[in-house]
Structure 1
């Protein structure tokens, strides 16, 4: 009888989820005629997690394994001065971001896994530094998730600035889904907001609440690995890994609860349900979700005259299916999906560079530039 009731509950959840899954019913079209091709500009990289373009056009690239590369004039130079990187599972050297006023202050921001602090293992940390020739200097440690754990999953972590100069970053739930994401007194499963110097803004949503982590801006996240500011609205968009199904795109908002793991469009990797609901009062619905999961990572808005036929869309890399997905957006709704460059590799990162071109970090390939087919 118990087995029958369990099966009935599971089927009910599936039927309910199917009824709610309007966004994911928009299938990704393939093949799609693409007016662009990829050109390898930095070859032979392993897991190029993040990249940034310096003013003169050279590229700083983070390799997850703990190497910071400066690519200039066709040569790769390893940069010294990084702190010790905790390498475990999904953790390592992750994102990199220039300060919006880099030309005047020289600050470069990094997210990485660190073993510093309480407990064995590691957690996500944020630092900033300056580059002097081939060495990082003036290192300042801005934030460190607590406590450490030996679990290898869900470190996050992307970095972004908004138009007002606030610094945002993500830390995944660190494999502790039933505790961290819904508890504002704990790190993990959160998007954080700081001033560029690491201090906490006075208007952060949980400032003054007893024992709350003051840097939290939103919570109820699983593992955000894509983050980008919308170039016109200034909104901070993130994508995050779900379990089996239920990857999401969310627009971050102050103090909001995005529901993980109380609500979700996914199920356990074993195929069993872990929640009976996909929505709840006081919890935000995603702008879009994927079923099945695509394992999203890098994220960019191709708002450039170089890509006139890609306006009103967002690009998301798929680690699982090894393609770049274009989602066409209308009134904050996804109306169409396209698969681009299928089979090229695991798209870890994508960025719109100052020269107006898109560059993507593809695992095992390197940094590729997306250029017109007739270029």
Structure 2
């Protein structure tokens, strides 16, 4: 149980049929379709346009009002294989005065090994184009794997850039696992200045045995991250092994246990991976989790609701569910979390990302498929 693109079109047709009403009293519309595995939606402040990444390497500008889509030039070369490719996007909080767009992506070295990258470029909407794109950070080491890149990026209330990195699917479960080895940057949350440099107050900068960029460690593969609009706390959704999926509140310097403490089991077994996190004082407990044999909640992008369109959802947390094919809704009181009835259930949609339009309060959802829509949820 769960516990505490080919040619992209912009037709503005409804999902399934025009103005279809969802069982939860919401209207679900397709804003644009034809995307190839969209991974992220990122809203441009004071603008009707939203950025949409596609895993194969394309960045798009989507107009939410008329559904038109324009591909953006100047994006980096990416390693589009397995779970890799062009992944998350974040807009500088002072946009458009600071026109930087931050991208996470998988890329390779000369030996064909891959790593999670962070880079940025200045968005010129005339074109559109990313100008002066620069690589800011690489989560080393490069490895021969095409899985578990993590790869969400957000700006914290402190103005710093937070990026998740995955464990690259290493299976040597034990204290020597890469997620517990702080000399590398795998299985971690890293914290950077907007220019990619290391903040002087990062938790381990005075420890010569730890990579300076690390903010938290002991993660498996966090593919969702968002900032609580009232507290400023950073929340993450993280994939477990066999179940063991988690929601976490990130603490600087915290060890989140993987794989020495975990609520899931080894794939195909009922054998726990590590200790129960609640039995150890040296790890940070998840605020919500799906234990082994619960069926899990393979999570993706996430956001807190802070809009006006759905007053009853104020402060709720929305998390994309991949294999379960629905949008999860959770009520949150401090760190007390309860799962509510799912949204978009029964449509066969793997939900990759979700965001709240700052002007309308509508939810925008990226569906993960080879020919996929961006859909909008509005009040009925």
Please give the TM-score of this superposition, normalised by the length of structure 2: 0.87
Which residue of the partner structure matches residue 61 of structure 1? 52
Question: The residue matched to 1:324 in structure 2 has which SS?
Answer: strand
Tell me the alpha carbon deviations over residues 74-123 of structure 1, each in whole angstroms, 9 at most, x when there is no partner.
32222121121012211110000000001211000000001137x53201
Question: The residue matched to 1:44 in structure 2 has which SS?
Answer: strand
Which residue of the partner structure matches residue 4 of structure 1? none
Question: The residue matched to 2:211 in structure 1 has which SS?
Answer: coil
> After the TM superposition, which of the residue ranges 230-239 and 139-148 deviates more from structure 2?
139-148
Larger proportion of helix: 1
- Report deviation, 1:140: 1.8
**CA distance in structure 2 between the aligned counterparts of 1:228 and 1:74, rounded to whole angstroms:** 26
Question: The residue matched to 1:338 in structure 2 has which SS?
Answer: coil
1:189 aligns with 2:187: yes
**CA distance in structure 1 between the aligned counterparts of 2:274 and 2:112, rounded to whole angstroms:** 34
The correspondence for 1:145, drawn from 124, 127, 139, is 139
1:346 aligns with 2:350: yes
- Report deviation, 1:335: 3.1
- RMSD between superposed Cα atoms in Å: 1.7
Question: The residue matched to 1:309 in structure 2 has which SS?
Answer: helix
Superposition map of 1:223-302 within 5 A: 223-279=221-277, 280-290=280-290, 291-302=294-305
The correspondence for 2:122, drawn from 127, 130, 140, is 130
Which residue of the partner structure matches residue 366 of structure 2? 361
**CA distance in structure 2 between the aligned counterparts of 1:112 and 1:354, rounded to whole angstroms:** 26
**CA distance in structure 2 between the aligned counterparts of 1:163 and 1:331, rounded to whole angstroms:** 18
- Report deviation, 1:149: 1.7
Which residue of the partner structure matches residue 77 of structure 2? 84
> After the TM superposition, which of the residue ranges 280-289 and 138-147 deviates more from structure 2?
138-147
Residues 328 and 339, structure 2, Cα contact 8 Å, conserved in 1: no
Question: The residue matched to 2:96 in structure 1 has which SS?
Answer: helix
Tell me the alpha carbon deviations over residues 169-198 of structure 1, each in whole angstroms, 9 at most, x when there is no partner.
101001125421101101210001111111
Which residue of the partner structure matches residue 110 of structure 1? 103
The correspondence for 2:62, drawn from 49, 71, 81, is 71
Tell me the alpha carbon deviations over residues 238-270 of structure 1, each in whole angstroms, 9 at most, x when there is no partner.
001001111000000110000000011101112
Which residue of the partner structure matches residue 9 of structure 1? none
Which residue of the partner structure matches residue 12 of structure 2? none
Residues 191 and 198, structure 2, Cα contact 8 Å, conserved in 1: yes
**CA distance in structure 1 between the aligned counterparts of 2:301 and 2:100, rounded to whole angstroms:** 22
**CA distance in structure 2 between the aligned counterparts of 1:74 and 1:340, rounded to whole angstroms:** 23
Alpha carbons of 1:202 and 1:80: their partners in 2 closer, same or farther (altered >3 Å)?
A: same
Residues 349 and 362, structure 1, Cα contact 8 Å, conserved in 2: yes
Residues 3 and 289, structure 2, Cα contact 8 Å, conserved in 1: no
The correspondence for 1:48, drawn from 34, 38, 44, is 38
Please give the TM-score of this superposition, normalised by the length of structure 1: 0.88
Which residue of the partner structure matches residue 327 of structure 1? 330
The correspondence for 2:168, drawn from 168, 174, 177, is 174
Residues 329 and 336, structure 1, Cα contact 8 Å, conserved in 2: no
**CA distance in structure 1 between the aligned counterparts of 2:339 and 2:364, rounded to whole angstroms:** 23
**CA distance in structure 2 between the aligned counterparts of 1:136 and 1:33, rounded to whole angstroms:** 41
Alpha carbons of 1:148 and 1:338: their partners in 2 closer, same or farther (altered >3 Å)?
A: same
Alpha carbons of 1:336 and 1:321: their partners in 2 closer, same or farther (altered >3 Å)?
A: closer
Unaligned runs of 5+ in 2: 5-21
